[in-house]
Amino acid sequence: MTTTQIQPAVRVRGLVKRYGGRAVVDGLDLDVHVGEVFALLGPNGAGKTTTVEILEGLRRRDGGEVRVLGADPATGDRAWRARIGVVAQTTGDGNALTVRETLDHFAAYHSRSEETDELIAAVGLTESAGTRAARLSGGQRRRLEVALSMQGRPELLFLDEPTTGLDPVARRQFWSVLQRLRSGGTTILLTTHYLDEAAHLADQVGVIDAGRLADVAPPDEMGGDLRLRSTVRWREDGGFRTVVTTEPAVVLRDLLNTGPRADLPDLTVTRPSLEEVYLQLVGAAPVAETGTVPSSTDVQGALR
């Protein structure tokens, strides 16, 4: 394996961007590996779009080191730009060209281009190939934009909130397009507000808050220690009792071995969802405190 092959597609160290003296990106570190889908989550104003625009070479940074496909985006030349694809947050205006005419028109801008009919099929627009772009639905327009971004066979695709405004069916169809692209070896970095989207598509998820990464992990590992906290909950005396613990098996054993609680209606043991972990990471929800694992007597006393 060569040195080029083992380098990440995106490498960021200490990225800083300021507006009016305020750092909207504040010392951010990030790696996106070749062939993976990386989802960047965060509340409005967290710095997601600014970060992506810097990686695309559309915005200048104030500090830090950035390498995208081995080059600095701030000085990326035409050859470098041909290796990336971009789908921006907002769609362009409709026009009088059909889907096929649009792709044929822009094919001339690339030194190498995917065959139009193959692109149309790849994004699921075969039945709409003769439809004017202005008449496409929001989901179809998004798929056309992906086809345009993929026309030059890019190695890396940037998508900024690509499914915002799409209905649930269109979102699922769009996910299928991205999964096909990933299967073909395209590296994808996307921003999204949809946690289910990140969980469904991404190999790695990064949560950005106040310009810094709060955590980076696979979706089912996001939150680290936060994921280790289980909530044991059951109904008793007309209400629900709850214990938050890192060792639910011990709590269950002690509960079930305690006479009056041997039969526990509505007993559940749950771990935090990705949404719950995300809200805690961005400070939108309190972190549940976890005490020591209680004994049988401790459980009774703590929950009375």
Domain extents for the chain? 8-219, 224-303
Buried b (16+ CB within 10 A) or exposed e, 231-255: bbbbebeeeebebbbeebeebbebb
Token pair belonging to 21: 């003296």
Q: Which residue has the tokens 């703590």?
A: 302
Question: Shortest CA distance to 159 belongs to which of 189, 201, 203, 202?
Answer: 189
Question: Shortest CA distance to 60 belongs to which of 13, 18, 6, 95?
Answer: 18
pLDDT in the model for residue 256: 74
pLDDT in the model for residue 172: 87
**Contact residues for 20 (Cβ-Cβ < 8 A; gap 6+):** none
How far apart, in whole angstroms, are the C-alpha atoms of residue 35 and residue 284? Answer: 32
Q: Is domain 8-219 classified as CATH 3.40.50.300?
A: yes
Instruction: List beta partners, residue 156.
Output: 84, 187
pLDDT in the model for residue 70: 95
How far apart, in whole angstroms, are the C-alpha atoms of residue 243 and residue 248? Answer: 9
DSSP, res 56: T
pLDDT in the model for residue 259: 54
Give the other-Cβ count within 10 Å of 262's Cβ.
9
Starting at the earlier edge strand, list the strands of the sheet with 84-87.
84-87, 156-160, 187-191, 37-41, 204-209, 212-217
**Contact residues for 269 (Cβ-Cβ < 8 A; gap 6+):** 230, 231, 232, 233, 248, 252
Instruction: List beta partners, residue 235.
Output: 240
Starting at the earlier edge strand, list the strands of the sheet with 63-68.
22-32, 10-19, 63-68
How far apart, in whole angstroms, are the C-alpha atoms of residue 135 and residue 179? Answer: 26
Phi, psi dihedral angles at 59 (to 5 degrees): -140, 140
Element (H, E) at 53: helix 48-55
Question: Tens-digit pLDDT profile for the chain (304 aa)?
Answer: 444 456 899 999 999 999 998 999 999 999 999 999 999 998 888 899 999 999 999 999 999 999 999 999 999 998 999 899 998 766 555 578 999 999 999 888 887 888 899 889 888 899 999 999 999 988 888 889 888 988 888 999 999 888 887 888 888 888 988 898 899 899 999 999 888 899 999 999 999 988 999 889 998 888 777 777 778 888 777 788 888 877 778 878 877 776 555 567 788 887 777 787 888 787 765 555 544 333 333 333 333 3
Q: Side-chain half-sphere of 241: how many Cα atoms within 13 Å?
A: 18
